[in-house]
């Protein structure tokens, strides 16, 4: 995180900057074991994933769909210094800022051949602000590629210091073009592969794409469908049939809990660590889920909470499962699972989980 030359801002509001830019820092651990097998540079990682996911997209932030920020039902521009000051906060502990953008792309090979099973999403997260008449451009740009058939996934993250390529317009919206793989040095300056010491799946547990009121406010033009795709169950092999693995992260902790017949799991996995993060930032499952009849699965949700608190090992009918990865089907795993990580420690006290 390159914030040294933003010293004026850090003097004004250091706590707000750190709270606003931090991702899933609640899960970070200084004793974290290196479990990634990623190249050192983004360009090398792009070459690693290319045979599976094609090339990452060329990102024109101005062409993306803005994530609107609402205050009392009215779309508002600028910065609100608390996540409680807007109607659709990120639920990740960040302050409310307008002008972030998302864009969806169909996968393509380097020669331009379509890869219809592959989807890429770019997310330009705006954290810019104005002080004393000067605009300070802060934020980051992420890319996620996903193959719906195999579950293969790639994560790319930019530096938070994106003002070499990005700016904000008069409406406080991110604009600018990010470097692409045709300029490897500049691409490496802008992006990094996943770190070997932190797992993106600590937050992206259900599938590669996080959904909440903030993300889903960006719609495909002329529809009510969110730009960020929804990954849902198809052929039902209960709890195990939604493919998901990270290229280079084959030793990452992919476990979620599963209880046979639980209706919360009828469309997707439920990562209880991610749910805890959202809940601790003001989101209440029974007020939102299931989408068309909120609260009607309260008993199913309580069942998952009980399993998480008591541990699957001590809860009859509740188990740890891992998803399908390519040709390898998902399965139940036991206490001998070798890739356990702190973010999947169960129990109410492990992550401050609440009802």
pLDDT value at residue 345: 83
- Dig out the tokens for 74 from the structure: 């009215």
Is residue 26 predicted with pLDDT exceeding 70?
Answer: no
Average pLDDT over residues 178-186: 98
Does residue 241 sit within a domain?
A: yes
Tell me the pairing of strands 114-126 and 101-108. antiparallel
Per DSSP, helices labelled H in the chain are: 7-12, 14-21, 42-53, 184-190, 272-279, 285-288, 298-310
Write the CB contacts of 246 (distance below 8 Å, at least 6 apart in sequence).
Answer: 153, 154, 155, 194, 200, 201, 252
Higher-confidence residue of 9 and 75: namely 75
Is residue 79 a part of any domain in this protein?
yes
Is residue 334 in a domain? no
> What is the arithmetic mean of pLDDT over 46-74?
95
Q: In whole angstroms, give the CA distance from residue 240 to residue 9.
A: 47
The dihedral sign for the CA sequence 93, 94, 96, 99: negative
Domain of residue 36 covers 4-252
Lowest mean per-residue pLDDT among 45-54, 159-168, 273-282: 273-282
DSSP 8-state symbol, 293: S
- Residue 91 or residue 121, greater confidence: 121
* Domain assignment present for 337: no
Q: Is residue 20 part of a domain?
A: yes
Higher-confidence position of 164 and 3? 164
Tell me, yes or no, whether 191 lies in a domain. yes
Average pLDDT over residues 57-86: 90
pLDDT of residue 347: 59
**pTM to 2 decimal places:** 0.86
Q: Average of pLDDT values for 311-318?
A: 92
Q: How far apart are CA 276 and CA 84, in angstroms?
A: 18
Q: Which two tokens stand for residue 86?
A: 């807007």
Is 265 among the domain residues?
no
| pLDDT at residue 5 tops 50 | no
Distances (CA, A) of 16 to 9, 11, 27, 124, 157: 10, 11, 19, 19, 21
Residue 279 has pLDDT above 90, yes or no: no
**Is 348's pLDDT higher than 70?**
no
- For range 266-279, the mean pLDDT: 87
Q: Is residue 290 part of a domain?
A: no
Taking every pair of Cα atoms in the chain, the longest distance, rounded to a whole number of angstroms, is 61
**CA dist 97 to 17, 87, 252, Å?**
12, 12, 32
- If you count them, how many residues does the chain have? 355
pLDDT average, residue stretch 323-340: 92
How far is the C-alpha of 95 from the C-alpha of 113, rounded, in Å?
Answer: 40
CA distance 89 to 217: 11
Number of separate domains in the chain = 1
CA distance 242 to 235: 9
When the pLDDT of each residue in the chain is averaged and rounded to a whole number, the result is: 84
Asked if 98 and 78 touch (Cβ cutoff 8 Å), the reply is: yes
Q: Tell me the pLDDT band of 7, cut-offs 50, 70 and 90.
A: very low
């Amino acid at each position: 995180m390159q914030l040294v030359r933003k010293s004026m801002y850090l003097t004004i509001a250091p706590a707000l900057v750190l709270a606003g830019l931090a991702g899933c820092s609640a899960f970070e651990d200084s004793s974290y074991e290196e479990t990634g097998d990623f190249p050192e540079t983004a360009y090398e990682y792009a070459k690693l994933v290319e045979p599976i996911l094609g090339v990452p997209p060329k990102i024109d932030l101005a062409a993306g769909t803005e994530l609107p920020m609402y205050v009392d039902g009215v779309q508002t521009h600028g910065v609100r210094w608390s996540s409680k000051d807007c109607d659709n906060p990120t639920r990740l502990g960040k302050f409310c800022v307008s002008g972030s953008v998302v864009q969806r792309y169909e996968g393509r090979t380097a020669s331009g051949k379509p890869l219809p099973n592959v989807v890429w999403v770019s997310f330009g997260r705006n954290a810019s602000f104005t002080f004393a008449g000067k605009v300070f451009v802060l934020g980051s740009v992420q890319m996620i590629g996903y193959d719906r058939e195999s579950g293969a996934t790639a994560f790319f993250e930019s530096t938070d210091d994106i003002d070499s390529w990005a700016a904000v317009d008069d409406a406080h919206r991110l604009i600018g073009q990010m470097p692409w793989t045709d300029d490897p040095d500049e691409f490496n300056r802008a992006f990094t592969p996943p770190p070997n010491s932190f797992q993106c799946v600590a937050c992206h547990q259900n599938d590669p794409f996080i959904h909440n009121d903030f993300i889903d406010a960006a719609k495909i033009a002329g529809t009510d469908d969110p730009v960020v795709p929804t990954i849902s169950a198809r052929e039902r092999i209960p709890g195990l049939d939604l493919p998901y693995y990270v290229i280079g992260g084959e030793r990452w902790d992919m476990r979620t809990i599963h209880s046979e017949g639980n209706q919360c799991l009828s469309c997707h996995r439920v990562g209880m660590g991610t749910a805890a993060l959202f809940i601790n930032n003001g989101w209440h499952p029974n007020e939102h889920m299931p989408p068309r009849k909120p609260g009607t699965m309260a008993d199913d949700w309580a069942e998952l909470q009980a399993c998480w608190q008591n541990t699957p090992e001590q809860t009859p009918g509740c188990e740890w499962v891992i998803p399908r990865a390519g040709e390898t089907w998902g399965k139940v795993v036991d206490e001998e699972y070798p890739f356990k990580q702190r973010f999947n420690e169960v129990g109410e006290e492990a992550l401050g989980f609440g009802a």
